[in-house]
Amino acid sequence: MQKKIKIIQIRPPKPDPEKLGAELIQRRLARTRHQMEQSQPVADWLEVAIAMWRMRQSDVESINGPLTKPTVFDYPHYPTRLPSTDRARIMTWVQTRVSVMPPGTQLPSKIPSEERDALAAAARGMRAVYLTEHQIDEAFASVHKEFPWLGQATENAWRIALRRAKLGLPVGVGAMLLYGAPGLGKSAWARAVAQALQVPSVEIDVGATGGVFDIQGVAQGWGSASKGRVISTMISERLGNPLVILDELDAGSNAAGSTRGSIPGLSKILMSMIEPSTAAAWTCPYFQVPIDLRHASWIATTNNFAHIEQALLDRMVIVDVPDLTHQHLLRFAEREAEKRFDGEIAGVIVAQVDKGLKQGHRLSLRHVVRLLDKAEEAADRPMLH
C-alpha cells in the first residue's frame, strides 16, 4: 500500500494569476458542459435530432451538402464560453487569493528550471510504501530463505520493520551496520531486503568515492555542484522511504575540502541524516531546503569498524555476520548453479565447491560466483573444429 507524505518542507512559488484564472474558467466551463450533457432536455433533443437525421439519410438525393450525425455540441444552447460576469468573478477571486499567499521558498539562482519544477512537484507530496505486519513477515521470510547465514541481520531488520508498522510509519529498517569478512553477501542481502520491502535502493560504494559527495551532494558555488544520490533518488522516484546501501563504510572520508573551504567527514554527515532529531529537517546542501529523512533506511557494510566514529556506531544497530558454513556455501552454489545450468553441469560445480571445502580451502560467495562465471563462459565458448 502507498500513501502520500510530506517530505520536502518548502512553499511552492506563487502561481501566475492569469494562468490560474484561465485554468479555473476552463474547469468551470467543462463542469457546466458535463452537467448539461447529463440533463434530460439535451438527451431528449439529441434523441429527436438523431431520429430526424436517420430519416433524412434515406432521402439524400433531395438534400444539398453532406449529412453529419448530431451531437450535444449541436444543441442550440450548448455553452462555448462562460458568461462575462462569471469570468470576472473567478478572476477577482484568483487575484485576491494569490495576493495573500506567502512568497515561495527562495532557491539558489543557479539551480536549473527543470530541477526547480521537479522539486516543487515533489514538495506537494511523495509516495511512501506501507506494509502490514503479515506482509513484513512474508518479506523477511523470503530474505531468510535466500540468506540463511544472515539470520541475525534478518531478525533485527524484521523486528524494526514490525515496530514501525505498529506505529503506523512507512516500512523501513532504520540504520544498520553489518560487520563481517568479505564475500559474505552483506550487500546482496541489503538489496534483497529493499526488493522484499518494495522500496528503491540507493547503493553507494564508500570505498571507491569516499561517500561524502555521493550521499549529501555538493552545494552551489562549488564547481561540481550536484544533488546527493539519496535526494536525487527520492525526487526522481517520488518516494520518501528509500533504502540506502553503503558499502565499505570504514573507508569513508574524514573530511573533504577545496579552495573554498571544507565540509565535515562522512561520519558527521551520516549522523545528521540518521539521527531522528536532525533528520526531520535535514538541509540539502544543493537545494538549501529542509528535507525529512526520518523514513529512509540505512544499511552499511564494513570489514572493520575500528576507524568509524563511536558516535555514529551508537546510532546504528550493529550485526556481527559469522563466516559461512560448509552447508551454507553448498546450498548457495546449488541454488545459483541451478539458475544458470542444467542438472548435470550444476551437479559438477557443486561437487567442485564441496571438494574445495573438504580440502580446507576458505571459499566465499565471491569464489563461488567466479566459478559459476567461468563455467558459464566455457559453456558459451564456440567449439573448435
Q: Which helix (H) or strand (E) holds 319?
A: strand 317-320
Q: Residue 134, SS3?
A: helix
pLDDT-derived band at 61, boundaries 50, 70, 90? low
Q: Residue 129, SS3?
A: strand
* pLDDT at position 131: 95
Which residues are within 8 A (CB) of 264 and not within 5 positions of it... i.e. 6 or more apart?
Answer: 255
User: Is 70 exceeded by the pLDDT of residue 283?
Assistant: yes
* pLDDT at position 336: 72
Which residues are within 8 A (CB) of 59 and not within 5 positions of it... i.e. 6 or more apart?
Answer: none
Question: Taking a C-beta distance cutoff of 8 angstroms, is the pair 125, 52 a contact?
Answer: no
* pLDDT at position 69: 86
- What CA–CA distance (Å, rounded) separates 247 from 269? 16
What one-letter code names the amino acid at 290?
A: P
* pLDDT at position 365: 75
Question: Which of 26-30, 89-93, 194-198, 338-342 has the lowest average pLDDT?
Answer: 338-342
* pLDDT at position 329: 75
pLDDT-derived band at 66, boundaries 50, 70, 90? low
Which residues are within 8 A (CB) of 231 and not within 5 positions of it... i.e. 6 or more apart?
Answer: 217, 284, 286, 287, 291
Q: Average per-residue pLDDT in the chain?
A: 84
Q: Regarding predicted confidence, which is higher, 106 or 42?
A: 42
Question: Which of 86-90, 221-225, 236-240 has the lowest average pLDDT?
Answer: 221-225
Residue with cell 440533463: 39
User: Is 70 exceeded by the pLDDT of residue 221?
Assistant: no
Q: Regarding predicted confidence, which is higher, 375 or 292?
A: 292
* pLDDT at position 91: 95
* pLDDT at position 381: 58
Q: What's the start-to-end Cα distance of the chain, in Å?
A: 58
* pLDDT at position 258: 44
At 264-278, the pLDDT tens digits run: 678 888 999 999 999
pLDDT-derived band at 192, boundaries 50, 70, 90? very high
Name beta bridge partners: 290: 283
Q: Regarding predicted confidence, which is higher, 376 or 161?
A: 161
Question: Taking a C-beta distance cutoff of 8 angstroms, is the pair 307, 250 a contact?
Answer: yes
Assign 3-state DSSP to the chain and report helix, strand, coil percentages, each to 5.
50, 15, 35
pLDDT-derived band at 360, boundaries 50, 70, 90? low
User: Is 70 exceeded by the pLDDT of residue 383?
Assistant: no
At 136-178, the pLDDT tens digits run: 999 999 999 989 889 999 999 999 999 999 999 999 999 999 9
Question: Taking a C-beta distance cutoff of 8 angstroms, is the pair 287, 269 a contact?
Answer: no
Question: Taking a C-beta distance cutoff of 8 angstroms, is the pair 105, 218 a contact?
Answer: no
CA distances from 16 to 19, 81, 262, 336 (A): 5, 21, 40, 58
The stretch 243-272 carries a mean pLDDT of 73
Number of other CB atoms surrounding residue 153 within 10 Å? 26
Question: Taking a C-beta distance cutoff of 8 angstroms, is the pair 246, 298 a contact?
Answer: yes
Instruction: Note the helical H segments in 180-279.
Output: 186-196, 206-209, 212-216, 229-237, 266-274, 276-279
Q: Regarding predicted confidence, which is higher, 205 or 333?
A: 205
**pTM for this one?**
0.70
Number of other CB atoms surrounding residue 63 within 10 Å? 10
DSSP conformation class of 149: G
